[in-house]
Amino acid sequence: MAHPKRKTSKTRRDKRRTHYKAVAPTYVACPNCGASVLYHRVCSECGHYRGQLAIEKVAAV
């Protein structure tokens, strides 16, 4: 493992950590039922993904 020869300054350390940005996830309306769904995920309401049935949902009785 590498061992530092000099102490890393607070400025240098903080500059390295500046690239992280918290981003809220993007929601879209499901084209089949209109529920809000995360991108690239199967709709939890109807089970469709990209216009095709991915998961068969059981209707509540």
* Entry pTM: 0.56
Residue 47 within any structural domain of the chain? yes
**Which range of residues forms the domain containing residue 28?**
24-61
- Count of domains for the chain: 1
Residue 7 within any structural domain of the chain? no
Residue 6 within any structural domain of the chain? no
Residue 44 within any structural domain of the chain? yes
pLDDT in tens, 2-50: 888 999 999 999 998 888 778 888 999 999 999 999 999 999 999 999 9
Residue 31 within any structural domain of the chain? yes
Residue 1 within any structural domain of the chain? no
Burial 35-55 (b: 16+ CB within 10 A, else e): eebeeeebbeebbbbeeeeee
- Cβ neighbour number for residue 32 with a 10 Å cutoff: 16
Residue 49 within any structural domain of the chain? yes
Q: What is the pLDDT of residue 58?
A: 79
